[in-house]
């Protein structure tokens, strides 16, 4: 099982914690970036700093965070990349191409390991690619695919989003796709885990129904299997409306879905619902 939870800083998420951090001041993001990057340097990871700015500006900004980070830049243990170079864009549409971007990231990980590093630790200010609903449709897919990669590869990422720019609802659409988030940023989390298509954690009640439906609409089409397994052991609550929403999305995507390891009462509620594609199993006593 991957670790997950609510955090108050970016420290200690080693070796490969995937964190969403929403900020309202640039200084706040940079403080978390420094914490995250320093942990990576100390553990032998190559640090990659990615934001919407020219390369030289990024080098200056990163190097000013801490002398140890400046030394890492000088030795190539830390690198910078403009955001538009990181997110591969389709020539046909001009939109980001999540699968191709993930392939590019895999090559970066492979090169870092070949260069003698224990893996890659990325700090990314993603704000510029997630401002509109249409952008978040695509970027949510990228977050989901990258999180699946992070579950099996030596890579971690701190994904920053300017809450003053995106708004609380926009942040929640992306935060929910990370195992680690700040308290209050999303009522639930959906992320990759061992032996399942993904895990669910947190609360899936009436307040989060719309967000849950939007998230499932974005990520379920990315599953290649016709039968999906979801682990629910870290759900604190899931209501009947969320179960119905999951069933509707399973039908829409022609997937059979097994939600397992939930509280026995949830399994009993599921038996009373007109579910077509969703099966629910309680956690073993």
The rounded distance, in Å, linking the Cα atoms of 8 and 215 is 24
Kindly report which listed range (91-105, 177-191, 235-249) carries the lowest average pLDDT score. Answer: 91-105
CATH 3.90.226.10 fits 14-185, yes or no: no
Inter-residue contact 200 to 231 (CB < 8 Å): yes
The confidence score (pLDDT) of residue 285 equals 66
The confidence score (pLDDT) of residue 214 equals 98
For the segment 239-250, the average pLDDT, to the nearest whole number, is 97
Burial (CB < 10 A; 0-12, 13-18, 19+), residue 15, is middle
Kindly report which listed range (67-76, 86-95, 100-109, 120-129) carries the lowest average pLDDT score. Answer: 86-95
The rounded distance, in Å, linking the Cα atoms of 215 and 176 is 8
The confidence score (pLDDT) of residue 45 equals 98
CATH number listed for the domain at residues 193-282: 3.30.750.24
pLDDT above 80 for 61: yes
Kindly give, in sequence order, each residue whose CB lies less than 8 Å from that of residue 1, ignoring residues fewer than 6 positions away.
193, 194, 199
Structure tokens at 119: 């893996």
The confidence score (pLDDT) of residue 89 equals 79
The confidence score (pLDDT) of residue 90 equals 77
- Is the torsion defined by CA of 173, 258, 201, 98 positive or negative? negative
Inter-residue contact 137 to 218 (CB < 8 Å): yes
Give residue limits of the domains in the chain.
14-185, 193-282
For the segment 141-151, the average pLDDT, to the nearest whole number, is 97
Average pLDDT, the chain: 96
């Amino acid at each position: 099982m991957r670790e997950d939870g609510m955090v108050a800083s970016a420290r200690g998420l080693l070796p490969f914690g995937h964190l969403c951090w929403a900020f309202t001041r640039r200084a706040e993001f940079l403080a978390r970036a420094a914490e995250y990057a320093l942990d990576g340097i100390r553990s032998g990871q190559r640090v990659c700093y990615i934001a919407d700015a020219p390369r030289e500006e990024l080098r200056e900004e990163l190097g000013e965070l801490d002398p140890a980070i400046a030394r890492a830049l000088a030795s190539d243990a830390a690198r910078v990349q403009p955001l538009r170079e990181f997110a591969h864009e389709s020539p046909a549409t001009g939109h980001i191409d999540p699968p191709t971007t993930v392939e590019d990231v895999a090559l970066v990980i492979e090169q870092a390991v070949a260069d003698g590093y224990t893996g890659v630790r990325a700090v990314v200010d993603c704000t510029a690619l997630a401002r509109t609903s249409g952008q978040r449709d695509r970027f949510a897919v990228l977050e989901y695919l990258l999180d699946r990669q992070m579950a099996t590869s030596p890579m971690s990422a701190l994904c920053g989003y300017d809450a003053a720019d995106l708004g609380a609802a926009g942040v929640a659409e992306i935060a929910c796709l990370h195992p680690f988030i700040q308290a209050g940023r999303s009522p639930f989390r959906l992320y990759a885990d061992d032996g399942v298509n993904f895990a669910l954690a947190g609360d899936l009640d009436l307040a989060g129904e719309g967000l849950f439906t939007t998230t499932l609409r974005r990520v379920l089409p990315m599953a290649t299997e016709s039968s999906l397994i979801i682990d629910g052991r870290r759900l604190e609550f899931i209501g009947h409306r969320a179960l119905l929403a999951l069933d509707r999305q399973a039908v829409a995507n022609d997937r059979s879905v097994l939600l397992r390891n939930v509280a026995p009462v949830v399994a009993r509620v599921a038996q009373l619902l007109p579910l077509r594609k969703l099966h629910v199993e309680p956690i073993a006593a």
